[in-house]
């Protein structure tokens, strides 16, 4: 059967289905891999399906997009149209994140959140990764 989608279109569709995989997340994983930290990704058996789980370090890393997770920074400005809708939506995400974090902590995990805006430039990325390395090595 002929493929009704062009190759490019198809990969766009696949990307939107697998959804969760974002660029900053991939950069963090690459860093961890390079540094020899063993991790599992998108662990569905844990609350919130964490992006990055490091069992040996009892540590979970979330890479959060500033807009969707309501970071207190200028990358997270709400649209002016439909403001109420967005406010509720983002507020719900914040509440859910809080709940997930509390649940994971209760089961003995250390939960680290890395915000997208802290990975924007090479310099920021490097700083964030140095901090992450320190936190893991201190475990
Ligand atoms: Zn931010």
DSSP assignment letter at 46:
S
Residues, the chain: 139
Q: How far is the CA of 34 from the centre of ligand 1 (A)?
A: 25
Domain ranges of the chain: 26-137
Cα 70 from Cα 93, distance rounded (Å): 8
Q: How far is the CA of 20 from the centre of ligand 1 (A)?
A: 18
Cα 93 from Cα 62, distance rounded (Å): 14
* In contact, 40 and 33? CB cutoff 8 Å: no
pTM of the predicted structure, to 2 decimals: 0.81
DSSP assignment letter at 4:
S
Q: Which tens digits make up the pLDDT trace of 9-64?
A: 555 555 544 445 678 999 999 999 999 999 999 999 999 999 999 999 999 999 99
Q: Which tens digits make up the pLDDT trace of 72-88?
A: 898 777 888 888 999 99
The protein residues having their C-beta less than 5 angstroms from ligand 1 (an ion) are 66, 71, 73, 75, 115, 117
* In contact, 132 and 80? CB cutoff 8 Å: no
CATH class, range 26-137: alpha beta
């Amino acid at each position: 059967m002929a493929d009704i989608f062009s190759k490019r279109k198809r990969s766009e569709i696949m990307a939107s289905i697998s959804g969760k995989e974002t660029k900053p997340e991939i950069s963090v994983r690459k860093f961890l891999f390079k540094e020899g930290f063993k991790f599992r990704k998108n662990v569905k058996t844990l609350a919130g399906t964490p992006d990055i789980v490091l069992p040996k370090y009892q540590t979970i890393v979330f890479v959060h997009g500033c807009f969707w997770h309501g970071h207190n920074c200028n990358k997270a400005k709400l649209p002016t149209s439909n403001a109420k809708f967005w406010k509720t939506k983002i507020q719900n995400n914040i509440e859910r994140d809080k709940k997930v974090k509390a649940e994971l902590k209760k089961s003995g995990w250390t939960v680290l959140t890395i915000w997208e805006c802290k990975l924007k430039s090479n310099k920021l990325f490097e700083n964030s990764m140095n901090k992450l390395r320190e936190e893991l090595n201190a475990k």
